[in-house]
Structure 1
Amino acid sequence: MCQLESTKCIFLFCLGISIIMCSVIYLRTKMPAEEKTLHPTSCRQFASECRPFLPERVEWCQSNHQVGRYILNSHLQCSEMIRDLHFITRPLSQDEETYPLAFIVTVHKDLELFVRMLRGIYMPQNVYCIHIDAKAPQEYKVAIRRLVECFHNVFLSSRSETVTYAGFSRLQADLNCMKDLVKSKINWRKVVNLCGQDFPVMSNLELVQYMQSKEWRDKNMTPGVKQPESMRYRTQSHYHENVVLNIAQRMLGQKKAPPPHNLQIYFGTAYYALTRAFVDFVLDSPKAQDLLEWSKDTFSPDEHYWVTLNHIKEAPGSHADGGWEGAIRAIKWGDQEGTKHDGCRGHYVRNICIFGLKDLPWIINRNDMFANKFESNSYPEALDCLEQWHRNKVLKQATVPIEASWLLAKQVTSRNILSYNSTAGA
């Protein structure tokens, strides 16, 4: 009997020790990752070339962080994530609150750039539809879904396309979001579309003021002109989307029939700012639907569809006599080097400049709505600097008290840079 009791005691003792050890191991594996992400013990200074864009002659420092790892931390509450990633949580002016905007954002890569772009354009009175490319990595989709769930006014598109370069799927992705946005309870006034490599230059207040200006108050913004001869190959031949090669390819055979309703085809940018009434027209008008069907086997139809519809006189907010007007994007095209700009300080991809740090003066001086394109890994200093410049401008224009969590970086002295502590997100 004594031996049995002794064995029982030893068993219970060992069981207790095992539970304690397992708990310690669990906490040691979980806690350091959170602490390292949430409370980095060091920060990085802005590049010296960025100093002309910072408001004062002091050292500026932003915390080291890994956005993807931070968002995927299953123990985080949404309130913590919104605070630590420095999202603005209140309308900053009456003008902005009474003129909510809608945004369509199509993404497929570069999670950090997406998060930083979203917090750059985010305001609680607006509404945001995020379209994730169906072929994007699963972890990428999970991270964006995790972030989106924390906001009442940000949602994923109800239908996801496998997007190919210059294919109809890119246009369809925007239309999917439009169908979702018209159901939104937020009474948005105009919709703007973005891709995952854009970054804002105008503040939200400046966007509202620009869209309510005399020139654009009741107008759609779709820069473009009558289709030039050099671009007619795009709509005269049949194309199909090669999902394997991720590109639209020309099909051999008959040429396409002329566009429906004797429409004059225009060529322009794939990016726009559209009135809500025009979106209704796009979704409901037989003429718009016929043009859409005709465009399904064309090359890069998003570069003719919006601008062509906007030149139909009966379309709400149409700009029938318009040309390239509208400060939609700051883009450095390779074939415009020496005429429209002084060269790319980063590198070209498909004839478009991936901006480097020394491209920022050109971007800021133009003050278009957005700039395209950026890569967070190629030239991180360019994104750091533009983001800080943009947030400084946004907060300077605010008519409400500034909350500490809205600040992206801290002013520090040289002696305390190494000891600086901050929450995640720069």
Structure 2
Amino acid sequence: MRNALAIDQMRSKIRYQLLDQAGAPRNFRLLWLFLFAVACFVAYFLLSSPSTNGVFNPLKPDARNPITYEQVMKDLRNEIDQRNVIINELQQDLEKMELKNDFKNLYRRRPETDHVDCGRILSGDKVYLESVSGKNRIKIVENDQLDMSCAAIMNRILPPGSNLKPLKNGVAFARIVYADYEMIEKQIQMSYHPQNSFCFAIDKKAPPQFHERLRVMAACLPNVLLLPDEESVDSAGHNINSAHYNCMRVLINKPGWNYVILLQNHDLITKSVYELEQVYEWLGGANDVEITPEAGRLDNKFKWDPKSLKMFRNATGIDEVILNGKMKFAKGAAQGSLSRAAVDWMVRTADLTTYIDQWNKGGFGVDEQFIQSFQVSSDLGMPGHFTDECLKQGKKADFVSRMSQWKYGDSDKCGSKTVRHAICLLGIEDFRTLAAYPNLMFNKMIPSFDYAIVECSAELLHNRTFLGQEDHKLEEDYYKNMINVLYHKNHLDPNFKLECTPSYTKWAARDYPL
């Protein structure tokens, strides 16, 4: 994190190393003044002492020594002056380079959070944490005069000099939004890469200014897509699935990504672009979807077999047992990670419009049976799918795409001591947890409640992306040994036996908050 003293010490160290042969200019002059005094003393001694026994005095002119003492000292002074000029020029160039690099790599804060030392919080300084939490909690002050020119937007998202390395595979982000534009823009900044793609579905009820700002941003950035058709979404989940599905339809035509992550307005990405790329490579094509038992919300007045749902665009060759059999169902978060192959299947092989419409006629939690049901219906053949075997055993498979803390009426167990709709609102008290956990996003963060957690998270990802900061190493064994990953890798092997209990401690069983 930013530390002026550390930067000054770094500058001093760099100068010392690069100018090691000559020293700093002031010390250099003192050294030569000392040598000059010694030379004068030696010269005086030799000139004032008589030459005896044929001893040759190099500073006393004679036939063998035509160079005078004055000429020697003049040449010496000229050489010193020339070296000093070169050293001064080198030092000036070095300082310019350092200032340029410092500015380029420095994360730029908002005025509200400029005083927050995220590094002290990350290191576990609980006394300091109290100064920016609780009654001292920092809320966003929205900028009604925000510069929305393309140059200003791009400067905020990717400042000049921010160099990004090429990705083997990008990531697509499908997000449903309705408020807090500046936080949404911050989310793009935190995950921005030219090879990544961003799709936004705006709630029809969102304020006009929010609509306009999203439209302007999408017009400025070629990898930001805005759905033209807007629907009204609500906390019961209505139109959430159709918005995500429409984003998939658009994103599948964008090259370069191999996973899509489904998000909502106040989800915050917690891994850098390079970390996301690595995690998805370790998942190896397996989808990451929360799987819990279906909660009795299924409306049986509708038919739920693939044929009645007109699920397959071309049903030729598909077993009649599958086409006429009732689907399997599960429940979970609307957020998740799907492989590109899964999205291609959902969009081009299948047509899920009727399925989504039937669920959308329900009363509550209608968005929680979408990707889950296709994930457990292995006979449908969605790439990266899982199975319902663990549900039958009463065991819950791990899920890392989203971290949320459900606390029903017990806010004291939340880091922020605050609950909304039975979920902990995340504050700056959760920063150390966010940095350490294996999850790809945290839910939920509301800037009008606590903006310091958003800003410190953004600075954390900035430092991981542009400064190579490695505060917490990615847990490779964790991702590779998730049950859904092992199933995806081995389920075609007739000798494979699914173990629904993982070999590691799931993140949900870890201490919270850290």
| TM-score normalized with structure 2 length | 0.56
Cα distance, 1:357–1:167 mapped onto 2, change above 3 Å: closer
Which position in structure 2 is the counterpart of 1:146?
A: 216
Are the counterparts in 2 of residues 283 and 289 from structure 1 also a CA contact under 8 Å? no
Which position in structure 2 is the counterpart of 1:416?
A: none
Which position in structure 2 is the counterpart of 1:224?
A: 291
Which position in structure 2 is the counterpart of 1:292?
A: 356
Q: Distance in 1 between matches of 2:209 and 2:276?
A: 33
Which position in structure 2 is the counterpart of 1:175?
A: 245
Cα distance, 1:168–1:284 mapped onto 2, change above 3 Å: farther
Are the counterparts in 2 of residues 331 and 372 from structure 1 also a CA contact under 8 Å? yes
Output the amino acid matched with 1:395.
F
Deviation at 1:137, TM superposition (A): 0.8
Output the amino acid matched with 1:333.
W
Cα distance, 1:86–1:226 mapped onto 2, change above 3 Å: same
1:377 aligns with 2:448: yes
Output the amino acid matched with 1:259.
W
Which position in structure 1 is the counterpart of 2:75?
A: none
Are the counterparts in 1 of residues 244 and 262 from structure 2 also a CA contact under 8 Å? yes
Map 1:292-311; keep pairs closer than 5 Å: 292-298=356-362, 299-311=364-376
Q: Distance in 1 between matches of 2:165 and 2:285?
A: 22
Q: Distance in 1 between matches of 2:110 and 2:420?
A: 37
Deviation at 1:291, TM superposition (A): 3.1
Q: Distance in 1 between matches of 2:383 and 2:191?
A: 26
Among 419, 426, 437, which residue is 1:366 paired with?
A: 437
1:280 aligns with 2:347: no
Match of 1:51, SS? helix
Are the counterparts in 1 of residues 121 and 432 from structure 2 also a CA contact under 8 Å? no
Match of 1:301, SS? coil
Deviation at 1:104, TM superposition (A): 0.6
Which position in structure 1 is the counterpart of 2:206?
A: 136
Among 353, 371, 378, which residue is 2:424 paired with?
A: 353
Count of aligned pairs between the two proteins:
323
Among 374, 385, 397, which residue is 1:324 paired with?
A: 397
Among 389, 393, 403, which residue is 2:464 paired with?
A: 393
Which position in structure 1 is the counterpart of 2:155?
A: 83
Which position in structure 2 is the counterpart of 1:259?
A: 304
Are the counterparts in 1 of residues 113 and 452 from structure 2 also a CA contact under 8 Å? no
Match of 1:302, SS? coil
Cα distance, 1:46–1:348 mapped onto 2, change above 3 Å: same
Deviation at 1:280, TM superposition (A): 2.4
Q: Distance in 1 between matches of 2:171 and 2:425?
A: 27
Cα distance, 1:90–1:274 mapped onto 2, change above 3 Å: farther
Deviation at 1:158, TM superposition (A): 2.6
Output the amino acid matched with 2:261.
V
The alignment's C-alpha RMSD in Å is 3.4
Cα distance, 1:91–1:162 mapped onto 2, change above 3 Å: farther
Are the counterparts in 2 of residues 90 and 123 from structure 1 also a CA contact under 8 Å? no
Name the larger-Rg structure.
Answer: 2
Q: Deviations over 1:321-345 (max 9, x none)?
A: 564323111211113969xx94241
Deviation at 1:120, TM superposition (A): 0.9
Deviation at 1:195, TM superposition (A): 1.4
User: Which blocks of at least 5 consecutive residues in structure 2 are unaligned?
Assistant: 1-107, 125-138, 306-324, 391-395, 470-514
Match of 2:338, SS? strand
Q: Deviations over 1:143-171 (max 9, x none)?
A: 12122222111121132111122233111
Which position in structure 1 is the counterpart of 2:21?
A: none
Cα distance, 1:79–1:157 mapped onto 2, change above 3 Å: same
Match of 1:326, SS? coil
Q: Distance in 2 between matches of 1:132 and 1:359?
A: 28
Match of 1:303, SS? coil
Deviation at 1:282, TM superposition (A): 1.7
Output the amino acid matched with 2:375.
N
Which position in structure 1 is the counterpart of 2:277?
A: 208
Which position in structure 2 is the counterpart of 1:312?
A: 377
Q: Distance in 1 between matches of 2:163 and 2:386?
A: 31
Are the counterparts in 2 of residues 107 and 196 from structure 1 also a CA contact under 8 Å? yes
Match of 1:190, SS? strand
Which position in structure 1 is the counterpart of 2:228?
A: 158
Match of 1:384, SS? helix
Match of 1:283, SS? helix
Deviation at 1:386, TM superposition (A): 2.0
Are the counterparts in 2 of residues 91 and 125 from structure 1 also a CA contact under 8 Å? no
Cα distance, 1:70–1:146 mapped onto 2, change above 3 Å: farther
Cα distance, 1:89–1:312 mapped onto 2, change above 3 Å: farther
Cα distance, 1:266–1:109 mapped onto 2, change above 3 Å: same
Are the counterparts in 2 of residues 46 and 384 from structure 1 also a CA contact under 8 Å? no
Which stretch shifts more, 364-373 or 381-390?
Answer: 381-390
Are the counterparts in 1 of residues 178 and 202 from structure 2 also a CA contact under 8 Å? yes
Deviation at 1:355, TM superposition (A): 1.1
Cα distance, 1:329–1:70 mapped onto 2, change above 3 Å: same
Deviation at 1:384, TM superposition (A): 2.1
Match of 2:298, SS? helix
Q: Distance in 2 between matches of 1:41 and 1:223?
A: 35
Q: Distance in 2 between matches of 1:199 and 1:382?
A: 10
Output the amino acid matched with 2:441.
F
Match of 1:131, SS? strand
Are the counterparts in 2 of residues 102 and 126 from structure 1 also a CA contact under 8 Å? yes
Which position in structure 2 is the counterpart of 1:192?
A: 261
Cα distance, 1:286–1:364 mapped onto 2, change above 3 Å: closer
Q: Deviations over 1:171-229 (max 9, x none)?
A: 11111111111222x2321111111211111111111111111xx211111121332xx
Cα distance, 1:262–1:86 mapped onto 2, change above 3 Å: same
Are the counterparts in 2 of residues 89 and 123 from structure 1 also a CA contact under 8 Å? no
Identity score, percent: 20
Cα distance, 1:126–1:336 mapped onto 2, change above 3 Å: farther
Cα distance, 1:174–1:43 mapped onto 2, change above 3 Å: closer
